[in-house]
Amino acid sequence: MSYLKESLSEFWASKVSKLGIIFLLVVIAVSIFTVATMPLDYGTRYWSNPRYWVENPKLAKPSWVNYFSTEKLLEHAVLPSEFSIPQFSGQYYLKNYFMNYELKVNQFPTFIMLRLENLTYYKSPPTVKLFIERPDNKTINLYTLNVEKPLSEEEPPFVRYADEPKRILLSGETTIAYALSSFLLTEYNLSTNPSEVMKMGYEKIIFGTLVNGSFQPLKGMYHIKVVLSSVDGRDNLGKVAFVVGGMIFGLMGTDSLGRDLFQGLLFGFPVALLIGFTTSVITTVIGAALGIVSGYVGGLVDDFIQRTADIINNFPQLPLLILLTFIFGGKLWIIMLVLVAFGWPSLTIILRSMVLSIKNAPFVESAVSMGASRLRIMLRHIFPQVAPYILSQMIFYTPSAILAEAGLSFLGLGDPSMPTWGQILEYGFKNGAVYLGYWWWILPPGILIVFSAVTFVLLALGLEPVVNPKLRRWR
Amino acid sequence: MSAIIELINIKTYFYITKGFFKTLAVKAVDGVSLTIHKGETLALVGESGSGKTTLGRTALKLVEPISGKIIFEGRDITHVKKDLKEFRKKAQMVFQDPFTSLNPYMTVRQIIEEPMIIHGYPADERERRVLKALSDVRLLPAEEFLPKYPHMLSGGQRQRVGIARAIVLEPTFLVADEPVSMIDASSRAEILYVLKDLQKKYAMGIMYITHDIATANYFSDTIGVMYLGKIVEYGPTKEVIGSPLHPYTKALIEAVPDPDPENRFRERNVIPGEPPSPINPPLGCRFNTRCPFVFEKCKEKEPQLVDVGRKHLVACHLHQ
Amino acid sequence: MMAVLSVKNLKLYYGTLRGSVKAVDDVVFDLENGEALGLVGESGCGKSSTAIALIKLLPSNVVKFEGEILFEGKNLTTLSDEEIRSEIRWKKISMVFQGAMNTLNPVLKVGFQVAEPLIVHKKVEKEEALDKARELFKLVGLPPEYVERYPHELSGGMRQRVVIATALALNPKVVILDEPTSALDVSVQAQIMNLLKRLKKQLHLSMIYITHDIALASDLCDKIGVMYAGEIVELGPIEKVLLTPKHPYTQKLISCIPHLKGNKMPEFIPGAPPDLTNPPSGCKFHPRCQHVMEKCKVNRPHAINVDGRLVKCWLYE
């Protein structure tokens, strides 16, 4: 179709459209990547599942901030070990798991955690002990875990921590307070009770030295030893990991639940596209069909459609949305439904007036004189004239839908199970990200919302010279 | 000779609302009767507001008259609304503007095929007829024109595509609404000759609507001069143009520019003023406000069309 | 007699996506004092482009504008936009545009629109300007009270008279009229032509009258230039060109006129005017000419004097 070629070349001619196409390709590429690499139920399975994020540091900044500051922030470290060195010490079979950690910066870890996976034992439950050897060669016997007894109906071998690893947040364990209390006594001759120890912060004690009344981080190599002590040599611990909580994490940092914001933001791409595109396509189809029918058929049909459109246009959209959210709970399809229901009238009203003038064109009259049915005239003669406008409206409506969803989520009316940019923004605001300066939490989603909206606006602007001349004359 | 179409005392009014309660009637066609026979071309000549275009549309039932009768091939179709398929095959229109009378998004093939698709012709029949129609209007080689879009053609070629579309179903009645007024002078005759040939070939009756009495002179057999919704003179073309009786017809003939270098030294005989609005036509003879021969009777009584011999009718008190 | 306007080798090309449109391609003519020159041609021949070139009202996509337009000892092509605007346009050379009657400002009274050039250019007070407007209305055959009316209250013919009055407001030497009657009914057209004849005599105006209708040109013009594809192919006194046309295009054009008297059937020229982005080589009319020779396809003919008029045709060279 040479009109298509002409239109495409005019569209391509402006820098605005080129930029818009580049942005769009970026959005599409990221969305494809996301859909390919992440599961579709990511929202309910992972994002809304706090246990999935438990090993991540909370409110960690993105890793790359270290490139911009001389004072480096502590990296997050997950130190696994599957390899154990067996030992036999008289009565007990020991399996030793070794992990090394080097503290390079002048900061304390934010938390420490021990993860045990796949424990099997045959007779009586083993114990798991955790030792940390500091760079100054002092060793702390930090923690002891007595594995749960077998249940009455269980048969050996007894398997523990296989479906779900056991994670012990050492930073919250009260027993550690006792271990550290005695450490403080032996080391600094400091007499403390466990609650005072907890107030001081375990990480400071474990990873620091007391200098002039306050703890200073002790840099150097730490050796972490986890010992499985059992009566049966077959007892085994599949995997052990020691987590040292850092202050930076991943490409985009974490939120207050420790959720990897990079994943959340990534997931937001296809969701934004889906919401934007689907909503605008449905809205446009409905609005265009009603507009063309209203304009061409006229009469009562026209009156009815126009009055309906007027009423909807003047209806308060937000209270209705709040009501529906209250009844059905915050769901994505409700938002889309409301956006569609309130979006079609404006297109209908404008198209109707365009159709009214096209209706009188001689080539339409010619079709009537041939005996063409009204449907044929609307599809074959009227629609092609308004199609460019409809297309540009569709593209223009997409950012509105994206922004609307973001806005609704921001107001708390969104779907919290789904990590959309609006949702991330909302959660950040709710947790005081603005006042507390968690910029990595709220700036990226904000920028991405603007970016996606701008992409479509640029495309719509690029389409304008194609659409406009066709509006003026039927050439 | 068989009459293809007969219009009996047709009145077509349009209503416009002015304000809340006032409705004004635009009396576009206010009592016109005419007959067109097989193979005959009737020219309707008039200026703006004469009603000629509305009459053409009424004859094709594109606009409904408020009174009068339309008899097509012997059948009264005045009030027929649903069963018009046959009529729509046999009565077609050629439009004035070659730019807007063709859908810019359709190829020449699609444009000419459309009437056949609407009336359910099979594909091979359509193919055959499209090529025949293009050769009828002398757009050759036909295959080259089929995939083209209207904007790739010249005004004259577009107009011929419009004609091809109109005659592809071999109609018996054609309304040509100013078919050459937007075409260059050097191409007009070509298009009118094409129409003449087609008329002979398909034995059509043609209603040729124009403001240009000079083209009506060589293209039509019968001429009807219209003024403000009524026919003021009617008869064989050579007769009416050779001996015009109505002052308006005389004025129209006088107003036609002829190529004479002496013209610039003398002023033409023109009638003053402009055609009044069809909303409130003058009382009596509608032309009385501008007629150079006006007298008392003209302002009171409306003259009827009277046969003055040689099938020449005129509505003027000077000739009653 | 010194020509009032002397145009030499005028060229105006527009830039479009498909290439440059050679709208005016080497146009040459002289306009004598008190003379009406008709530029006759069909769609796309460049007559309207010639008109806007004369008052330098150029659109933004002009790629070539050269030549000489000698007026009162100055070459208008070399003057700056500001000079043309303040000195020439409307004051010395004014224009009636095609369809101007439909572009009158609907919210201003017509009297004011006629008075506007006086207020802007001659710095005349509003009342005085309106008085002059009333005079101009009388001149063009409109009742002076009509200065109070709005465009929608006037008929087509009256609006065209308003436009003509506007063009005469500053007493120009030359008036260019681009198809001033094409949108009017025939009877009104005849009235306006009579008016133009009167004005030409009364005000001793020099006019350039642009039309596609060569018969209409004979109603007013002393000299006629027939244009085809951006060039003037025949230029001479109206008696000579109309009665003994020399260029094949002129001859054909005249034979296309339908006559009310006699039985002669009008002719037509097959084909269509050429695409000005890619005009034919040699003589641009050669694809449609019935006297075409090999020479015509290769070389562009020059204007030579044949029997008292200029013709560009290889038949005479």
What distances in angstroms separate CA C52 from CA B91, C35, C210, one per listed residue? Answer: 45, 20, 12
Nearest C-alpha neighbor of A245 from the set A428, A448, A101? A101
Looking at every residue in chain A, the average pLDDT score rounds to: 86
Asked if the model's pLDDT at residue B64 lies above 60, the reply is yes
Q: Which candidate from B62, B105, B106 shows the least CB-CB separation from A365?
A: B62
Confidence of residue A472 (pLDDT cuts 50, 70, 90): very low
Res C232: pLDDT? 95
Give the helix/strand (H/E) hosting A160. Answer: strand A158-160
Asked if the model's pLDDT at residue A474 lies above 60, the reply is no
Q: Read off φ and ψ for residue C254, nearest 5 degrees.
A: -70, -35
pLDDT in tens, C73-95: 889 988 888 888 888 888 899 99
What's the mean pLDDT in B251-256?
A: 90
Residue A391 sits at the chain B interface (C-beta within 8 Å)? no
Q: What CATH number is attached to the domain comprising B124? A: 3.40.50.300
Res B209: pLDDT? 96
**Cβ contact B118–A376 (<8 Å):** yes
pLDDT in tens, C102-116: 889 999 999 999 999
- Total-model pTM: 0.80
What are chain B's partners, defined as 3 or more CB pairs within 8 angstroms?
Answer: A, C
Q: Which candidate from A369, A371, A381 shows the least CB-CB separation from B103?
A: A381
Across A13-22, A433-442, B149-158, C71-80, least confident range? A13-22
Distance of CA A16 to the CA centre of its chain: 30
* pLDDT more than 90, % of chain B: 72
Looking at every residue in chain C, the average pLDDT score rounds to: 91
Confidence of residue A50 (pLDDT cuts 50, 70, 90): confident
| Cα of A7 to nearest chain B Cα, Å | 12
Rounded Cα gap, residues B73 and A179, in angstroms: 114
Q: Domains in chain C, ordered, with CATH? A: 5-92+172-312 (3.40.50.300)
Q: Which candidate from B62, B91, B105 shows the least CB-CB separation from A368?
A: B62
Domain range for B146 is 3-257+269-313
Structure tokens at C225: 């230039």
Res C30: pLDDT? 93
Residue A299 sits at the chain B interface (C-beta within 8 Å)? no
**Cβ contact C258–B211 (<8 Å):** no
Asked if the model's pLDDT at residue B34 lies above 60, the reply is yes
pLDDT in tens, A146-180: 888 888 888 888 888 888 888 888 888 888 888 88
What's the mean pLDDT in A22-28?
A: 90
What's the mean pLDDT in C135-163?
A: 92
- CATH classification code of A74-244: 2.60.120
A-chain CB neighbours of B95 within 8 Å are: 362-363, 365-366
Confidence of residue A473 (pLDDT cuts 50, 70, 90): very low
Asked if the model's pLDDT at residue A439 lies above 50, the reply is yes
pLDDT in tens, B279-297: 888 889 999 999 999 999 9
Residue of B nearest to A372 (CA): B118
DSSP string, chain B: --EEEEEEEEEEEEEEEETTTEEEEEEEEEEEEEEEETT-EEEEE--TTSSHHHHHHHHTTSS--SEEEEEETTEE-TT--S--HHHHHHEEEE-S-TTTSS-TTS-HHHHHHHHHHHTT--HHHHHHHHHHHHHHTT--SHHHHTT--GGGS-HHHHHHHHHHHHHTT--SEEEEESTTTTS-HHHHHHHHHHHHHHHHHHT-EEEEEES-HHHHHHH-SEEEEEETTEEEEEEEHHHHHHS--SHHHHHHHHHS----GGGGGS------S-PPPTTSPPSSSTTTTT-TT--HHHHHSPPPPEE-STT-EE--GGG-
| Cα of B103 to nearest chain A Cα, Å | 6
B-chain CB neighbours of C185 within 8 Å are: 47-48, 211, 274-275
Res B31: pLDDT? 93
Q: Read off φ and ψ for residue C61, nearest 5 degrees.
A: -100, 30
pLDDT in tens, A281-296: 999 999 999 999 999 9
pLDDT in tens, C27-54: 999 999 999 999 999 888 989 999 999 9
What distances in angstroms separate CA C194 from CA B257, B263, C160, C190, C197, one per listed residue? Answer: 12, 10, 13, 6, 5
| Interface test mutation site (partner C, options B53, B184, B289, max chain C beta carbons within 10 A) | B184
Domain tally for chain B?
1
Residue of C nearest to B260 (CA): C218
Q: Which candidate from A3, A369, A475 shows the least CB-CB separation from B92?
A: A369
Size of interface A-B (CB pairs under 8 A): 63
Res A468: pLDDT? 63
Q: Which candidate from A361, A369, A373 shows the least CB-CB separation from B100?
A: A361
- Neighbour-count burial of A264, counting CB atoms closer than 10 A to its CB (0-12 exposed, 13-18 middle, 19+ buried): buried
What are chain A's partners, defined as 3 or more CB pairs within 8 angstroms?
Answer: B
B254 within 8 A of B239, measured Cβ to Cβ? no
Maximum pairwise Cα distance, chain C: 66
**Cβ contact A366–B105 (<8 Å):** no
DSSP string, B160-209: HHHHHHHHTT--SEEEEESTTTTS-HHHHHHHHHHHHHHHHHHT-EEEEE
Asked if the model's pLDDT at residue A419 lies above 50, the reply is yes
pLDDT in tens, C244-274: 999 999 999 999 998 888 778 899 998 888 8
Query: What is the CATH superfamily name and number for domain A2-50+259-472?
Result: MetI-like (1.10.3720.10)
Residue A369 sits at the chain B interface (C-beta within 8 Å)? yes
Give the helix/strand (H/E) hosting A127. Answer: strand A127-133
- Boundaries of every domain in chain A: 2-50+259-472, 74-244
Rounded Cα gap, residues C112 and C165, in angstroms: 12
Residue of C nearest to B187 (CA): C268
Residue of B nearest to C142 (CA): B273
Q: Which candidate from B62, B96, B103 shows the least CB-CB separation from A363?
A: B103
| Interface test mutation site (partner A, options B77, B85, B100, B158, max chain A beta carbons within 10 A) | B100
Residue of A nearest to B61 (CA): A369
